[in-house]
Amino acid sequence: MNNPAYPRTFSHIGISVPDLDAAVAFYTEVLGWYLIMKPTEIVEDDSAIGEMCTDVFGAGWGSFRIAHLATGDKIGVELFQFANQQNPEDNFEYWKTGVFHFSVQDPDLEGLVEKIVAAGGKKRMQAPRYYYPGEKPYRMIYMEDPFGNILEIYSHSYELTYSAGAY
């Protein structure tokens, strides 16, 4: 028997930041995400979490700090601060394999843009763009958080934006 694939739900995303405490403040105060586990240090040892991290990062990773947040629609966000963390000059290497942005939704897209800029983030585009100018009010803009991570903001849900005929 061949079992057909079914759509899996999105569980969480991990984001590396240079300053965990500042990132927790930004994501809770600006994006309104819930802090579900305060910043905690994880060390390389023989504990269950230590061994799991060694499986992922390889031996010699040392330690890192992590906090867990959740979005309004229950998606988890892990914020990581690694001891050997590096800030790239430009974190927008979209042509390379891997995740190059994540997206949030806010009907007050322009208001969120102002909050992000006021908190130290920046616009990657001069102004929001309409997906269907003169036809539908769906807007988007690319931004950077204060730590160089790329985020996109949609004014409407992903399904509405891309489904035919939806208003």
Domains of the chain: 10-83 (3.10.180.10), 100-166 (3.10.180.10)
Q: What is the reported pLDDT for 167?
A: 56
Q: What is the reported pLDDT for 1?
A: 63
pTM of the model: 0.91
Amino acid in position 136:
K
What pLDDT, in 10s, does the model give residues 42-101? Answer: 999 999 999 999 999 999 999 999 999 999 999 999 999 999 888 888 888 889 899 999
- At 163, the pLDDT band (50, 70, 90 cuts) reads confident
Nearest C-alpha neighbor of 63 from the set 77, 40, 42, 88 = 42
Nearest C-alpha neighbor of 83 from the set 62, 99, 113 = 62
Angstrom distance (rounded) from CA 20 to CA 10? 23
Percent of the chain scored above 70 by pLDDT?
A: 98
Q: What is the reported pLDDT for 127?
A: 96
